[in-house]
Amino acid sequence: MDIDISKVSERLNLEEDILRSAIERRVISLCKYRDIRYIVFKKKVRHVERGTVLFLNENMDVVMGYPKIRRALVLDPTVKKYFVDKVVVEEKLNGYNVRVVKIDGNVLGITRGGRVCPFTTKKLLKLLDTEILKDYPGITLCGEMVGLNNPYVSHYYPEVDREICEGIRENLGLFIFDIREGSNSLPVEKRIELLEAYRVPHVKPLGVFKKEEVEEIKSIVLKLDREGREGIVMKDPDMLVDPIKYTTHYTHCQDLSVAFRYTFDLGIHFMFSRLVREGYQSYEFKEGEEELEKRAHSIGRSIIYSMVESIWKVARGELITEDFELYFENEEDLEEFLKYLKEVHISYVLKEKEVLKNSIFRVVIGKVYPSTRDKIKSYLEGSLW
């Protein structure tokens, strides 16, 4: 790999040997977006988080990986024990994590894994006013890209429905939830002030509570659940402790249904953790027999319907895919994105492609889940488990 190991080592404060070994083990890979070269940490190496990016430019700019947010299985007593005094409750949006940075004059969108994603990079320029990065070039805006029309986590949010061209609607939005400088986050109030001043769309607090007011937080969760939303992230106002998260029954069921649709591609671990969350939630909300029965029903439905649907699909000889409908401004953007999917080893089929007004391209991409299809097929043909 043609990189200056000693410079990188100095920049990241990582010994050269450790760097060399990480490169050999392919934990670090060399990537390119247009003529911008960078290296990515695919796993955590010492203090360097997964998803950390180091640009191979003059400055060797570093964008730290977005840290993991730990989960409370019960809100009471976890919130009381964990926080210092006050708790800011924000909505947890169900999309994908994006870090927005400005490198040598280019605004880039980096995914959780640490790749500059061409789809994200182009869309965010339409969705955000990036003036803030002119005045504060060293910051990282961290946000969630949400909506139906993105290639990673497709979930409808009514508030991001927008017209991209006469009669063509796209459901896509980006909400910033954190401003980081190196590994430090701005205090919540300061972050919101700054984002408001620059008219950047952001996640707004659902409330600020004393850490003892867990019952209020629980009612927020119930309300979000009824509205079919993902959950909450709780933060210390000054970001003195790391944020923690809690999610709704609705989301667990959604996740389970996805997990069983792609039974043999999404790991056991993924399914198990969702089921466990349900157990603790039922306990925390002191469910009686009737409520528990209702929960059991909806968990069961989430699992069985999607799993059986996949079995039928394979039996009919169909592919098992997860479909994403995307809009591109022109054919070059589409081609660039398809090339990128190959580079990151996502296998897909192009299911639909049409040109709309003003040369806007609408496509449907089916992400292929090969193990699910192969396994189901082989069981249906008589293989033993």
Minimum CB distance to ligand ATP smaller for 112 or for 362 = 112
Helix (H, G, I), strand (E, B) or coil at 45: strand
User: Of the two residues 145 and 314, which places its CB atom closer to ligand ATP in the complex?
Assistant: 145
3-state helix, strand, coil in the chain (%, to 5): 40, 30, 35
Q: Tell me the residue type at 200.
A: V
Told to check if 155 binds ligand ATP by CB under 6 A, we report: no
Query: CB of residue 72 vs ligand ATP: minimum separation in angstroms?
Result: 12
Among 3, 23, 69, 271, binds ligand ATP (CB under 6 A): 69
Q: Judged by CB under 6 A, does residue 245 bind ligand ATP?
A: yes
Half-sphere exposure of 322 (CA within 13 A, CB side): 24
> Per-residue x/- mask for ligand ATP, residues 114 to 153, rule CB under 6 A?
------------------------------x---------
CB of 287 to ligand ATP, least distance (A): 24
Query: Is position 93 an interface residue for ligand ATP (rule: CB under 6 A)?
Result: yes
CA distances from 258 to 107, 250, 329, 369 (A): 33, 13, 30, 12
Smallest distance, Å, CB 303 to ligand ATP? 20
Closest CA to 113 of 57, 9, 38, 15: 38
- Please report the DSSP string for 166-193 in residue order: TTEEEE-EEEEEEEEETTEEPPHHHHHH
Residue 15, judged by CB atoms within 10 A of its CB (0-12, 13-18, 19+), counts as exposed
Stretch that binds ligand ATP, among 65-73, 219-227, 248-256, 257-265 (CB under 6 A): 65-73
Provide the 8-state DSSP code for 116.
Answer: B
**Of residues 128, 203, 244, 363, which one binds ligand ATP by CB under 6 A?**
203
Task: Indicate the residue type of 226.
Answer: R
90, 170, 255, 265: which one contacts ligand ATP (CB under 6 A)? 90
Find tokens 């039928």 and name the residue. 312
Q: Could you say whether residue 92 binds ligand ATP (CB under 6 A)?
A: yes
- List, as one string, the DSSP characters of 283-341: HHTT--HHHHHHHHHHHHHHHHHHHHHHHHHHHTT---EEEEEEEESSHHHHHHHHHHH
Q: Does 110 bind ligand ATP (CB under 6 A)?
A: no
CB of 247 to ligand ATP, least distance (A): 7
> Which residue, 67 or 366, is less far from ligand ATP as judged by CB?
67
Q: Is there binding between residue 206 and ligand ATP (CB under 6 A)?
A: no
Of residues 291 through 330, those in contact with ligand ATP by CB under 6 A are: none
Footprint of ligand ATP (CB under 6 A)? 66, 68-69, 90, 92-93, 97, 144, 177, 203, 233, 243, 245
